[in-house]
Amino acid sequence: MNIILLGPPGAGKGTQAKFLVEEHGLTQLSTGDMLREAKDSGTEMGNRVAEVMARGDLVTDDIVIGLIREKLKDGGRGFIFDGFPRTLPQADALEDLLKEEGRKVDHVIELRVDDDALVDRISNRSTCAKCGEVYNDSTKPIPEDGKCAKCGGTEFKRRADDNEESLRKRLMEYYKQTSPLIGYYHVKGQHEVVDGLADIETVKAQVNAKLT
């Protein structure tokens, strides 16, 4: 089973991907994680990534596709694509790559959110500096004892760009890039929508219902 998660920054794709990994034994392929891992790997592909990032250039599609190809060859029950594809050429390239491996996209799930509510959610977001667990002042506050529930860490940070102006800019860029993708997968009968602003467990239940 191969799943693409769509949704703007802060919609909760990473959280839902973790649940899918735990419950269905899938492998999460996050573009950001793959690039960081490759940069530190010392492989030929990793060195290419390191060079591009050192120059401050955008990583090209062929590099990302190359990294995904390496991961697919590792096998596994299936994959969750988080943060990829973002454009129609990337969607075409992913489809071709999956065909090479005898696989296909089974589900495309969009975590749909209201922009104003999303801005409010993200601007109240904190992350444990030790393990990366995400907290929110409104929906999932830091425990009263000031310790991370996951690792016991006591330091929390907020992203510098988690402010309204930056967030609205990122949302505009997301919709500009990704709107055509929604039509692309809708025509194929693969596009499904869940309410990304519901509480975490409700979103999880909605996602699982789409997989049955």
Give alpha helix (H) positions in 40-133. 44-55, 61-73, 88-100, 115-123
Residue 163 resides in a domain: yes
Per the annotation, does 159 bind a ligand? yes
Per the annotation, does 81 bind a ligand? no
Residue 41 resides in a domain: no
Residue 67 resides in a domain: no
Number of structural domains found in the chain: 1
The confidence score (pLDDT) of residue 103 equals 93
Strand partners, 79: 2, 27
Residue range(s) defining the domain that contains residue 82: 2-26+77-211
Q: Any idea what the CATH number is for the domain that residue 191 is in?
A: 3.40.50.300
Residue 106 resides in a domain: yes
| Tens-level pLDDT at each residue, the chain (212 residues) | 999 999 988 888 988 999 999 999 999 998 878 888 888 887 888 888 888 878 877 788 888 888 898 888 887 889 999 888 988 999 999 999 999 989 999 999 999 999 988 888 888 889 999 998 989 888 889 999 999 999 999 999 988 778 888 888 888 888 888 889 999 999 999 999 999 989 889 999 999 999 98
The confidence score (pLDDT) of residue 147 equals 96
159 is catalytic: yes
The confidence score (pLDDT) of residue 25 equals 93
Per the annotation, does 118 bind a ligand? no
Residue 52 resides in a domain: no
Per the annotation, does 92 bind a ligand? no
Per the annotation, does 196 bind a ligand? no
Residue 53 resides in a domain: no
Other CB atoms closer than 10 Å to residue 110's CB: what's the count?
22
Q: Which residues are CB-contacts of 158 (< 8 A; sequence separation ≥ 6)?
A: 125, 126, 127
77 is catalytic: no
The confidence score (pLDDT) of residue 57 equals 76
Q: pTM (2 decimals)? A: 0.79
Please pick, among 103, 112, 125, 140, the residue that the annotation labels catalytic. Answer: 125
170 is catalytic: yes
Residue 169 resides in a domain: yes
Per the annotation, does 78 bind a ligand? no
The confidence score (pLDDT) of residue 127 equals 92
Token pair 């065909």: residue: 99
Three-state SS at 29: strand
Please pick, among 18, 71, 86, 130, the residue that the annotation labels catalytic. Answer: 86
39 is catalytic: no
Residue 109 resides in a domain: yes
Three-state SS at 66: helix
168 is catalytic: no
The confidence score (pLDDT) of residue 58 equals 73
Instruction: Report the candidate in 147, 139, 159, 148 with the shortest Cα–Cα distance to residue 200.
Output: 139
What is the rounded CA–CA span in Å between residue 123 and residue 159? 9
